Chain A
Amino acid sequence: MHIVDGALSAPVVIGGTIAALGGIALGLRALPLERIPAAGVLSASFFVASLVHVPVGPSSVHLILNGLAGLVLGWAAFPALFVGLLLQAVFFGFGGLTVLGVNTLNIALPAVLAGLLFGRLAASGTPLAGAVWAGIGGAFAIAATTVMVGISLRLSGDAFIPAAKLVFVTHLPVMAIEGVLTGFAVLLARRVKPELFAALKGASA
């Protein structure tokens, strides 16, 4: 999921960086004092989730957990995921510093979309119904991320269909696992700490 240094053409890298900066600025504005600790926790979960590998055939892919961040944080997922990605690049060598903007965009924009589409649904109704919607949102975020990665590669010259297909197919198990994981995370949060979503509704209403 992390595109590495040198795989993308310069216009894609620059465009991605500018878009990511815009997203981070928007996200910081949408991050009130009360949400900062939640953003930190989700940033840390994202950082660690990348170390959980899911074997797919002879290869493996890792969890991303961007959907959950988007559902809880909305636009504020941008800075949270950016920090996670930055530290992954520095500590683990995932991705790279020049493509950080593109990677942030590819991972945070689907998260925000998932938050906009499913955030309200996950926060309302019974906890169980909310969890189901959250699960769909979590899987959706991964699917959208694979499409974004495919587009980035396409703009840099790779053939879109094979590249996107490859990324999409290998991430099908991740989608399933993340859907379930996100669903359970939201179920737990709705049962134990309902104010996590109450604050979200208050902020977006």
Chain B
Amino acid sequence: MRPLILAALLCLAPLPALAHKVIAAVFPSGEAIEGEIGFSSGDMAAHQEVIVIGPDGAELGRTVTDEDGFFVFTPVQPVAHVFRADLGAGHVAEAVMPAGEVAAILGVGVPEEAAPAVPTAAQGAPLAALSGEERQAIAETVRNELRPLRREIAAYREHNDLQTILGGIGYIAGLFGLGFYLAARRRLAG
């Protein structure tokens, strides 16, 4: 039974979560652009093709998301990159990385400078003592550690709290109340 359910889930996995908002975000990651695509519910878009478009509408390349909805794209030109993914059924994810950030990625280029945020200094080890490969590994680890956090922040941002809901209902009551008032005034005057 378990394998059957699993198989069914795997078959259904690429289906978009219809009720949810699409979230797409891109951020510099070493010498590449890393991004994630998913839904506000926390489901990520796995194995989704992402088309990269330049500012003039020309296609710069394509990439595919992994199991967790993450994708990596290595930019070549210092222009604004638009990442688009069609999740089907009316869901389109779009994220933009401005030209400045792309240029910064390309300008840095070398792996030595790839991970400025790595807290190696805190460990007391002099930066120079680390090889490029070690830096890469540390940067990779930090990114992996930050992933759930980033996802949680995205989910939190999409969270609808009671205040929002009550506010919306308040607007509806006010709007229809106003309509009622205007209609009543017209009737009384007529």
Task: Write the residues of chain A forming the contact surface with B, with a CB cutoff of 8 angstroms.
Answer: 1-8, 32-33, 36-37, 39-40, 43-44, 47-48, 50-51, 53, 57-62, 83-84, 87-88, 91-94, 149, 152-153, 158, 162-163, 166-167, 170-171
Contacts and interface: CB of A to CB of B under 8 A. Distances in A.
B123 interface: no
| Ranked 9 nearest A-B pairs via Cβ | A40-B176, A3-B90, A59-B17, A62-B19, A57-B12, A36-B180, A33-B183, A7-B90, A87-B168
A36 B169 CA distance: 15
A40 B158 contact: no
B169 A47 contact: yes
B156 interface: no
Nearest to B167: A91
13 contacts: A4-B92, A6-B92, A37-B176, A40-B175, A40-B179, A47-B169, A48-B165, A50-B19, A58-B12, A149-B89, A153-B90, A163-B89, A171-B18
Contacts of B16: 59
Interface of B: 8-9, 12-13, 15-22, 39, 41, 43, 86, 88-92, 94, 158, 160, 164-165, 167-169, 171-173, 175-177, 179-180, 183-184, 187
A158 B88 contact: yes
A36 B176 CA distance: 7
A165 B44 CA distance: 22
Q: Which of B19, B164, B168 is packed against the most chain A CB atoms within 10 Å?
A: B19
B156 to A, nearest CB: 14
A101 to B, nearest CB: 14
Contact of B172 (A2, A50, A83, A149): A83
A48 B19 CA distance: 13
Contacts of A47: 168-169, 172
Contacts of B39: 59
A59 B15 contact: yes
A59 B43 CA distance: 8
